[in-house]
Structure 1
Amino acid sequence: METNKLTADTAKLTADTTADRNTTTGPAPFDDPRTREALDKAQNGFKLYGALGATALLAVVAVAGSGHPVNTFMWVRAALLPLIAVLLHRMTVSASRGSRRSFERVSSVAVVMPIAIVGVDLIPGVCPFWYAVVQTVCMLPVVRIAFLTRSSALRAAFPRTR
């Protein structure tokens, strides 16, 4: 009799523990409106970055067309950065579908890229001051994305794994 009661209590405790483990207290991470909003803002940030990058390319074209000197560095960077924006936007879309790897890449690039772009532009003689200013303005949406990817909503949606 004592053994039956112990077995019944153990079964009830196991069922209660399993039920607690299988229930969630809130919405799934990607159903959370804060998560959706942060990922949408990141996608829009890369769209804005791409548009600003395309505008910077047009500025280089206009300056070169007016007869002012434009070096190879400016041409290459002005052409590549809008293309990179497309790739980063696609990675952000992939992250919004649940790809942790894409999220980690976007998060890392959003921190490193503005530092690298502005840092190189500040090297004397690499590019004229106006170009450094244009590139800095282009990086502002990326800086915002760096902060967004570190928000509590996205940290909850993409918890760190060991």
Structure 2
Amino acid sequence: METDTHSTPRTTPGLRRAADRVTGCATAYGVLGAVALAAVAVVAAGGHPVNTFMWVRAVLLPLVAVVMHRLAVAAFRDGPDQRGSRRAFERLGTLSAVMPIAIVGVDLVPGVCPLWYAAVQTVCVLPVVGIAFLTRGAALRTAFPRGR
């Protein structure tokens, strides 16, 4: 079976399962991000303090979830030739490795955000951690072998 560095090989059950899990995690991240945005809006509407950082983060992270979902779809695209994008897969892997560290790390800086918001953001990023592990798993590493 021949593959080039820009495509995935024919879909196997393990590959399909891993791809579905990655896409599902990206969707879950988007849903949780939307819930976090709604929580910030409810807290602000209740008259409690909500700083600019919280608003910006609450709006941006669901938008990043859309990007992650699009990368997952591009990486695992099905079609007559069942070719996906290795480049999208690599970007998804990199993004999913960096985001949890950046999100939780910034939230831990004293005074940046309240503890409840840091906890919400930590829960939201758990599906991204799942993507990071899945993209480094055997099924997907085999599907997207390293090029030169």
- TM-score normalised by length of structure 1: 0.82
Which residue of the other structure, out of 96, 101, 119, is the alignment partner of 2:76? 96
The equivalent of 1:133 in structure 2 is: 119
Contact 1:29–1:35 (Cα < 8 Å) also in 2: no
Distance in 1 of aligned mates of 2:10 and 2:133: 19
Which residue of the other structure, out of 8, 13, 17, is the alignment partner of 1:37? 17
Gaps of 5+ in 1: 1-20, 23-27
1:151 deviates by 0.7
Percent identity among equivalent residues? 64
Distance in 1 of aligned mates of 2:143 and 2:28: 24
Distance in 1 of aligned mates of 2:89 and 2:56: 27
Residues 28-62 of structure 1: per-residue CA shift (max 9 Å, x gap): 83421111111110001010000000000000001
Contact 1:30–1:36 (Cα < 8 Å) also in 2: no
Runs of 4+ in 1 over 4 A off after TM superposition: none
User: In the alignment, does 2:106 pair up with 1:120?
Assistant: yes
User: In the alignment, does 2:91 pair up with 1:105?
Assistant: yes
Distance in 2 of aligned mates of 1:55 and 1:44: 16
Residues 111-147 of structure 1: per-residue CA shift (max 9 Å, x gap): 1000000000000000000000000000100001100
SS at match of 1:56: helix
For residues 60-99 of structure 1, what are the structure 2 equivalents within 5 Å? 60-97=40-77, 98-99=84-85
Gaps of 5+ in 2: 3-7, 78-83
Distance in 1 of aligned mates of 2:95 and 2:60: 15
Which residue of the other structure, out of 16, 27, 30, is the alignment partner of 1:50? 30
Larger proportion of helix = 1
- TM-score normalised by length of structure 2: 0.89
Calculate the aligned-residue CA RMSD, in Å: 1.4
Distance in 2 of aligned mates of 1:30 and 1:107: 21
Question: When the two structures are aligned, how many residues end up with a matched partner?
Answer: 137
Distance in 2 of aligned mates of 1:30 and 1:96: 11
Residues 97-123 of structure 1: per-residue CA shift (max 9 Å, x gap): 210000000001111000000000000
Greater relative contact order (Cα 8 A, min sep 6): structure 1 or 2? 2
Structure label with greater radius of gyration: 1
For residues 140-159 of structure 1, what are the structure 2 equivalents within 5 Å? 140-159=126-145
Contact 1:122–1:132 (Cα < 8 Å) also in 2: yes
